[in-house]
A = this chain, B = another copy of it.
Amino acid sequence: MPKINAGRLLSELRRFAQFGAYRTGVHRPSYSKEDMDSRRWLAQQYEAVGLQAHIDGVGNVLGMPRSQRQSLLIGSHLESQNYAGWLDGALGVIYGLEIARTFAETTDCAGLLIAPVAWADEEGHYLSMLGSRSFVGDIDEAEIDLAVNVDHGLPLRDALRAAGLAGVPRSLLEPGRHVGYLEAHIEQGDALEASSKRIGVVTSIVGIWQYSIVFHGIQNHAGTTRMAIRKDAGVAAAMLAMAIAKRFPEVAGPRSVWTTGRITMEPGAPSIIPGKAEMLFQFRDSEMPRLESLDAVLMELIQGVATKTGCRADIERTEAGEPSQMDPAFQVAIENAAARHAPGASVRMPSGAGHDAQVVARKLRAAMLFVPSIGGISHHWTENSDDADLVLGCQVLADAAETILRREGGEM
C-alpha cells in the first residue's frame, strides 16, 4: 500500500505557490516568467524521481518512466487564472509528483509506473486546454499560429518564443503506452462542503457553450436624441441579460448554470448612446440535449430583443463542448479508496468546470477526484482548502492509482 508523505505534500504545495505569489493566491499566467520557472522546477523534481522529464513545444511538463511498460498518467495544469487561487491546477500537479515519489519509495509498488504530467494553458490565456489538446493530437500548427492572448492580444507564437519553446516538438500520446489518466482538482464549488463530504468522485464533465453576442444600434448624443428615436445597443444587451434570467430557469436542469461574464459598450462614454454592445455569455450542462435546448431558447430570446429594440444582433458561438463521461471502473477505484480512508465521505458528482480530463478522455480511460473548496470559492485569490482534505485527496488518489495499475489497465 502506497503511503504518501503528508508533510512533504503540503510543503511542496506551499513552495509551489511561491511561483507568482499574489496575496494568499497566485498570478501565474501561461508562459509568464513565473509559469516557466515553475515548469522548469517541476521537471527537475521529475528527474530526481528517476523519470525522463521533458518540457514540450507548448510547455507541457511530462515525467515519463524509462521503462516501456504501461504507466498511469496523473496530473493537471500549472498556470493560474489572473490573480487567482493557489490550488487551481497546482493541486493535481503536485499530487502527481507526490504519488510518483511515493510509488518510487514503496517496495511493494515496484513496477507500478506513474507518469506525472503538467499541462499548459488549461485556463485559456491563449487557447483553452492547449496542452492536453496538443498531447492527444487535437490541435494543429495553424490554430497555434492564430492564437493570441485574451488580455493583451499578443500572439501565442511570440509567447512560446519568449519562453524558449520555439522549435521544440510537441509531445504526442503514444497509443498503448498508458493505462489511463487521473486528475485531482479542487471542487471550485460548495457542493462537497454543503453536504459535509470530503471526496468528490466525478461522473462527467459539463459541456461549455460560449457566445459572443453583439448588438448594433445607433451611436448618438445622450442629451439631444429623443428617447423615442433611440436605438441603444447597451439597453439591448441589458434586456437580453434579463430575458435570460427570466426564461432560462424554465428550461434549465438542476445543475445547469449560465453567466454573462462581460458587457462592453462602445464608445463607453457617459454622454454617448452606445452604438454597439458586446455580451460574453455562456451556459453549461452535463447533458447534450439540454445544452441544445438552452441554445435554441437563447437564439429565440436574442431575436426577441433585436425586434423590440431595433438593434441588429450578430451571434458567434465560440465554444460548444460536448459533456464528457468519466471511466466507470476508475470511478469505482476512487470510491473504494475513499471508503477505506474516510468511510461515507465520498459522493459522486458531475464537474461544472471544464478540465483537461475531458480532453484526455477522448483517447484514454480517465477519471477525476475533487477535494472541497472552502466556501466554494475559486478563480479568486482567497481560494483555499483544509490541509486535512488536501492530504486525504492525495492518499485516496494514490490508492486508486495502485488498484488501477495492479489490474494492468486492460482487464478491470
Contacts and interface: CB of A to CB of B under 8 A. Distances in A.
Q: List the 6 shortest-distance A-B pairs measured between CB atoms, nearest first.
A: A189-B224, A238-B241, A222-B259, A188-B224, A223-B352, A223-B353
Given A259-B273, A261-B272, A82 B267 contact: yes
A53 to B, nearest CB: 31
Interface in A203-220: 206, 208, 210, 218-220
A407 interface: no
Interface in A256-289: 256-263, 265, 267-275, 280, 282, 284
A391 B117 CA distance: 75
Copies held by the complex:
2
Nearest to A219: B380
A275 B380 contact: yes
Contact of A210 (B210, B225, B256, B270): B270
A221 interface: yes
Contacts of A257: 222-227
Contacts of A261: 222, 234, 265, 268-274
A346 interface: no
A40 to B, nearest CB: 27
A234 B282 CA distance: 14
Given A190-B226, A220-B379, A262 B271 contact: no
B352 A188 contact: no
A271 B275 CA distance: 26
Given A222-B284, A261-B274, 9 more contacts: A188-B221, A191-B226, A219-B379, A220-B379, A227-B256, A234-B241, A237-B238, A261-B270, A270-B282
Contacts of A379: 219-222, 269, 271-272
